[in-house]
Structure 1
Amino acid sequence: MSFSDLKKLLEQKGIEISNARLSYYANGKRKPKDKNIWIEIAKVLEVNLQDIIIDIDYFLSINQENSVKNNVKKSGNVKSSEANALSKELLSLIDKNSPSELEKVYRYCSLVSNFENLSKAIDKAGVMILVSSGENEIKKPHPAIAEKVKVNAALIKLDEFFEEKRTSKPKNSGEKDWSKFTK
């Protein structure tokens, strides 16, 4: 397939790209700013992403970044716009080529989703629940409360990592400050 053919197929998906740029990517002379272009190229070519990305670290970073975005989108518990804003902010703070830093973003977003699920369970059943004990019923605190405390502790620990990234990031980098969504 020629670069012109690939360009036409990508244009059908709404991706505008030049033949020269495709040539640079194919020859490893440049990498696209938006790593999702690789995913779209793989879809258009009907191949696996690993078939067109030779650098294993770069492949893993694309895969993990895509996984983070998909998991945030799947989270129907946090408002979609807030989840996207949160993931964008966290992704802007990290080195996207670092699998461990991408994993922290995924974990943070997942914990936020879990926190919201636990809140919904408590809202639905109440703070106190009835538990059967033989022939008696005993009122006990909802077990999700203890789980929320654990999730909150994990979020606070990860917040320390992201706060360190925020303070080390140069001011006036041209990016919006999304920190209000994580506090």
Structure 2
Amino acid sequence: MVNNQLKKVLDDKKLSFSDLKKLLETKEIKINNSQLSLYSRGKRNPKNKKMWIDIAEVLQVDLQEIITDINYYLSLMNEISENSTEKNGKTENEKTNDSLFQELLSLVDKNSPSELEKVYRYCSLVSNFENLSKAIDKAGVMILVSSGENEIKKPHPAIAEKVKVNAALIKLDEFFEEKRASKPKNSSEKDWSKFTK
């Protein structure tokens, strides 16, 4: 279950769960007060994660004011963007990630579970890095965070996460650099080291 600031946002706006229920009904979303209470206490998550976006919209706040857990926020944004893209067509990032996966796969011993795991982990980290970048681009480097009655500007929490992901990519890239060095260079291959610099 996810920790969130829904109750605090409602309190700051002097709204009740009933008020929120009525606001959501204007978007033709049927929900009851007990469900909203369970969401706010982190006892239950909406089946459709888009509910969090609807709640933020009707409350006229940024989603990050309600969902403060960066990992959940990113997974939520990722799931929503996956659902909104057409299943047949791939985005440029998906095409790039497929190419990266194929390139890394060509470097490792496919019979070695540990080497295969490194490929999957590297691709997952690259995807996380891209999602963190999108979150920062969307909200800006500095975000407003409610603190009691005041709002203070803080660096976007995704920045610190991006630094951690980048460090993990650099460490993991050492393994792939050794593999690249022992393999004959093909001039048509892309250079993926940009993710680690």
Instruction: Calculate the TM-score normalised by the size of structure 2.
Output: 0.50
Find the aligned partners of 2:104 and 2:146 in 1 and give their Cα distance: 44
Deviation at 1:177, TM superposition (A): 4.8
Task: Give the secondary structure class of the aligned counterpart of 1:83.
Answer: helix
Query: Match for residue 141 of structure 1?
Result: 155
Query: RMSD of the TM alignment (CA)?
Result: 2.0
Deviation at 1:94, TM superposition (A): 0.3
Which of 83, 100, 111 is 1:97 aligned to?
111
1:150 to 2:170 alignment: no
Query: Match for residue 56 of structure 1?
Result: none
Matches within 5 A, 1:49-128: 79-128=93-142
Deviation at 1:78, TM superposition (A): 6.0
Q: Unmatched 5+ residue regions in structure 2?
A: 1-81, 83-89
4+ runs of 1 displaced by more than 2 Å? Answer: 175-179
| Distance change in 2, residues 1:162/1:89 (3 Å) | same
| Distance change in 2, residues 1:177/1:167 (3 Å) | farther
Find the aligned partners of 1:139 and 1:89 in 2 and give their Cα distance: 41
Deviation at 1:124, TM superposition (A): 1.1
Q: Unmatched 5+ residue regions in structure 1?
A: 1-73
| Distance change in 2, residues 1:177/1:90 (3 Å) | farther
Query: Match for residue 54 of structure 1?
Result: none
Summarize deviations over 1:82-105 as a string: whole Å, max 9, x none: 112111110000000000000000
Instruction: Calculate the TM-score normalised by the size of structure 1.
Output: 0.53
Aligned length: 106
Determine if contact 1:128/1:142 at 8 Å carries over to the other structure.
yes
Task: Give the secondary structure class of the aligned counterpart of 1:79.
Answer: helix
Larger CA Rg, structure 1 vs 2: 1
